[in-house]
Amino acid sequence: MKRSLKIFTVAALGALLLAGASVALAGNLTGNWNGNWTCPDGEIKNGKLHGNLTQNGDKVSGTWTLVGTIKGNISGPLTGTAKGGMFIGDLKAGGKNVHFDGHYTDNKITGNYSSPIGNGGFTVTK
């Protein structure tokens, strides 16, 4: 009985440590971000992406700018969620929506975006 209790205790402690590690790796998205976007099938293949975010709980808000798109620079408010290393956000600009979906750590967000003018990938760091 004591052996079973020890095994259970060690397993439970291990699970808690792993859960805590994944939360610690995810981090907080508050800060200034800079990086790139790509659009493999687009007329313009890549450009810069920058902005700032504030995270409160799992809610994220801020302003992002995609530089050098076929429509010029696209800038506007971004709102979304960040939880457990998953990032989802929507940039509203000029009546259009750019949807971002990706993964994050303390200092990096990477993933994909979709918009009326093209789809592709993005990576930003702070």
pLDDT tens digit string along 27-41? 899 999 999 999 999
Instruction: Reply yes or no on whether the pLDDT at 63 is more than 90.
Output: yes
* pTM as predicted: 0.78
Average pLDDT of 12-40?
69
Q: Give the residue extent of every domain in the chain.
A: 28-125
Average pLDDT of 107-116?
97
pLDDT of residue 111: 99
- One of 3.40.47.10, 2.40.128.120, 1.10.3720.10, 3.40.50.1390 is the CATH number of 28-125, namely 2.40.128.120
Kindly report the CA angle at 43 between 40 and 47, in degrees rounded to 5?
65
What per-residue string of b and e applies to 105-116 under the rule 16 or more CB within 10 Å gives b?
A: eeeebebebebe
Question: Residue 32 corresponds to which tokens in the numbers above?
Answer: 């200034």
